[in-house]
Structure 1
Amino acid sequence: MKCDICKSKDAVIYQPYSGRRLCKDCFIDDVRRRVREEAEKQGILKANKVLLAVSGGKDSLTLADTLASIVNPKKLIAFNIVEGISGYNRKEAAMKLKKYLDDLGIELISSSFKEEVGYSLDEMISSSKNRGLNIAACTFCGGFRRKLINNAGWKVKADLVATGHNLDDEAQTIIVNLLRGDIKRLVRLGDVPLKLSDRFVLRVKPLRKVYEWETTMYAYFKGFEFQDVECPYISQKPTLRARVRDLLYLIEEKNPGSLMRIVEEFDLISDNIKNNTSREELPRCKICGDPTSYGRDICKNCELLIKSGLMDQKYLFMS
C-alpha cells in the first residue's frame, strides 16, 4: 500500500487518529511539521539561545533532532541530569546521548542531584522512608529536576527551556490538574505558556502535539538507540499520573485521537482561563530564593529536604 501523502513510496506506518498510512520520509516530515508549528507559536524560532532538557530517551532525542532540523544547532544547548537512581541513567546511555548530540552539532552540559542538591534521589528516598514518610519518588524527582533545569537555563542565559514532553504527557497533565482542581497550574499550560516569575526561564514543549508512540517510531526510523528502561520507582509506587495515563490509553484505544482532542480543546479555552486568573508574581522561597507557590514561604523542594531530615529542622518554623 502506498503512502497517503506522497503516493509513491510504500507506507510503513499507520496513524489511527488521522486514518493515514505514511512512508518513513513522510512520517518524519509530518512530525517535524507539527514541531515547527509549535516552535513558531512558542517563540523558539526567534530565540537566540534555547536550553534542551535531555535524558537520552526517545522523547529528548526526537526533541533534539527535530529542533536541529528547523533552527541553527549552535543556538541549542542540551542539558542532562543524573538523578542518582541505582541501575538507571547508565554510563553507556550517557555516552550514546553525547555522540548523537555531537553529530547534530549541539553542545551538551550535565549535572546531577548529588552535585547541585547534595543528595542523590536514592538518598532522598531512603532518608524519607527512614522517617516513616510516604512520599513518592516522583515528588522529589520532578521538583528538583525543574529546579536544576531552570538554574541551567539561567547560567547559559537561555531565552527558553525546551522539554521533551509529548502529547501523552500534556493530556495527562491537563487531566491530573483538573482532578486536583488546580486552576493555577492549569494557567501555566497551553500552547503559549505563561511566565509568572522573572526567576523562571520560560519552558516550552515543542513535542506537545506528537504522540509518545510517534516519538518512539521517529527515534527508531532515525536509528537512535535510546534508553528504554522505565524508572524503577514508577512500578514501586504508581502515582495519580500513572493511573490517569493508563485510563487515557484505554480511551485512546477505543477512540483514536482522544488525546489530541483533549490538548487541542484545552488550547482553545486556555486563553480564557489566563485572562480571568490572577497573574501576580510568584513569591520567593525564604530558604533557597527560588519561586514558590502562592501562599507558601518555603518551596516544596526545601520542605521535602526538611521533612526528610536532610536540611536543618529550624526552617520548618518559617512556614
Structure 2
Amino acid sequence: MICDVCKSREAVIYQPHTGRNLCKECFINDVRERVKREAEKQGITKVNKVLLAVSGGKDSLTLADALASFVDPKRLIAFNIVEGIQGYNREDQAKKLNKYLSDLGIELISTSFKAEVGFTLDEMVSSAKGKGLNVSACTFCGGFRRKLINNAGREVKADLVATGHNLDDEAQTIVINLLRGDVKRIIRVGDVPVKLSDKFVLRVKPLRKVYEWETTMYAYYKGFEFQEVECPYISSRPTLRARVRDLLYALEAMRPGSLLNIVEEFDRVAEEFRRKSEMKELPSCKICGEPTSYGREICKNCELLIKSGLLNYQNLPMS
C-alpha cells in the first residue's frame, strides 16, 4: 500500500482519526507539523529560552526531538526529576536520556525529590500510609513535580516551560475537571497559557494535539529506547485518571477522532470563558511561599507533608 501523502513510499502506519495510510517519513513530518502549529500558537518560537520537562519516556523524547526540528536547540534546556520509586527510576534510562538530548544539542539538568523535598516518593507514600491517610502516590508525585519544574524554570530564567502532555492526557484532564466541577482549573487547561501568579513560569503543551499511540510510534521510528514500564503505583492503585482513560479509549475505538474533538471543542469554549471572566492572582502558601489555590492558606504539597508527619507546622487550617 502506497502512502496517501507522498504517493511514492510504502505506507507503514494507519492513522484512524484521519483515515490515512502513511509512510514513516510522512508520519514523522505530520507529527512535527502539528507540534509546530501548537508551538507557534503558544509562543515557543518567539521566546529566548524554553525549559523542557523530560522523564525519558516516549512523550518527552518526542517533545524534545520534534521541537529541535524547528527551534534552535541552544534555546532549549531539559529538566529531569528522579522521583525515587524502587525499581522504576533506573540509572541506565537516565544515561540514555542524557545521550539522546546531547545528540540533539540540548543541555540536561537533573534533580530528585530527595534532594529538593527531603524525601523520595516511596518515603512520602510510606509515611502517609503510616498515618492512615488515603492519599495516592500520584497526588504526591503530581504536585511536587509541578513545583520543582516551575522552580527550575525560574532558576534558568526560562520564558516558558514545555511539558510532554499528549492529546490523551489533555482529554483526560478536561473530563476529570468536569467531573470534579472545577471550572477555574478547567479554563487553565486550554491551548492559550494563563498566568495567575508572577511566581509561575507559563506552561505550554506542544504535544496536546498528538495521540499517545503516535508519540509511541514516533519514538519507535526514531530509534529511541524509552522506558516502557508503567509506574508501579498506577497499577497497584488505579486513579480516577486511569478510569477516565479507559472510558475515553473505548469511545475513541468506537469513534476515531473523539479525543481530538473533545480537546478542540474545549479550546473554543475555554477561549470564550476566559474573555468573560476575571482571573485573580493566586495567593501564596504561608509555608513555602509558592502559589496555592484560591481560598487556601497553605498549598496542597505542604499540607500533605504535614498530614504525613514529614513536616512540623502548627495552627494553620487544612482542607
Q: TM-score range by the shorter chain?
A: over 0.9
Contact 2:163/2:204 (8 A) holds in 1: yes
State how 1:27-66 maps to structure 2 within 5 Å. Answer: 27-66=27-66
- Structure 1 315/64 Cα, relative in aligned 2: closer, same or farther at 3 Å? farther
Distance 1:313 1:146 in 2: 22
TM-score, with normalisation over the residues of structure 2? Answer: 0.99
- Structure 1 308/315 Cα, relative in aligned 2: closer, same or farther at 3 Å? farther
**Structure 1 spans left out of the alignment, 5+ residues:** none
State how 1:269-280 maps to structure 2 within 5 Å. Answer: 269-280=269-280
Q: Which residue of 2 aligns with 1:225?
A: 225
- Whichever residue aligns with residue 84 of structure 1, its letter is G
Q: Which residue of 2 aligns with 1:11?
A: 11
Contact 1:306/1:315 (8 A) holds in 2: no
Question: Number of aligned pairs?
Answer: 319
State how 1:110-149 maps to structure 2 within 5 Å. Answer: 110-149=110-149
| CA shift for structure 1 position 187 | 1.5
Distance 1:315 1:260 in 2: 46
Contact 1:303/1:316 (8 A) holds in 2: no
SS in 2 for 1:60: helix
Post-superposition CA distance 1:192-225 (Å, at most 9, x none): 1211111000000000000000000000000000
Post-superposition CA distance 1:214-258 (Å, at most 9, x none): 000000000000001100000111111110000000000010000
Distance 1:72 1:207 in 2: 18
Q: Which residue of 2 aligns with 1:238?
A: 238
Distance 2:196 2:73 in 1: 28
Distance 1:191 1:171 in 2: 12
Q: Which residue of 1 aligns with 2:26?
A: 26
SS in 2 for 1:280: coil
Distance 1:69 1:244 in 2: 33
Q: Which structure 1 residue ranges, 4+ long, deviate > 6 Å from structure 2? A: none
- Whichever residue aligns with residue 237 of structure 1, its letter is R
SS in 2 for 1:263: helix
SS in 2 for 1:77: strand
- Whichever residue aligns with residue 18 of structure 2, its letter is S
State how 1:234-273 maps to structure 2 within 5 Å. Answer: 234-273=234-273
Distance 1:263 1:152 in 2: 28
Distance 2:111 2:276 in 1: 39
Q: Which residue of 2 aligns with 1:298?
A: 298
- Structure 1 227/249 Cα, relative in aligned 2: closer, same or farther at 3 Å? same
- Whichever residue aligns with residue 3 of structure 1, its letter is C
| CA shift for structure 1 position 23 | 0.3
Contact 2:187/2:273 (8 A) holds in 1: yes
Percent sequence identity over aligned pairs: 76
Distance 2:318 2:34 in 1: 46
SS in 1 for 2:278: coil
Pair 1:150-2:150 in alignment: yes
**Structure 2 spans left out of the alignment, 5+ residues:** none
Post-superposition CA distance 1:40-73 (Å, at most 9, x none): 0000000100000000000000000000001000
CA-based RMSD: 0.9
Distance 2:182 2:318 in 1: 25
Q: Which residue of 1 aligns with 2:169?
A: 169
Q: Which residue of 1 aligns with 2:191?
A: 191
Distance 1:307 1:244 in 2: 28
| CA shift for structure 1 position 272 | 1.2
| CA shift for structure 1 position 278 | 2.8
Distance 2:273 2:230 in 1: 35
| CA shift for structure 1 position 318 | 7.9
- Whichever residue aligns with residue 103 of structure 1, its letter is D
- Whichever residue aligns with residue 119 of structure 1, its letter is F
- Whichever residue aligns with residue 42 of structure 2, its letter is Q
- Judge which range, 275-284 or 138-147, deviates more: 275-284
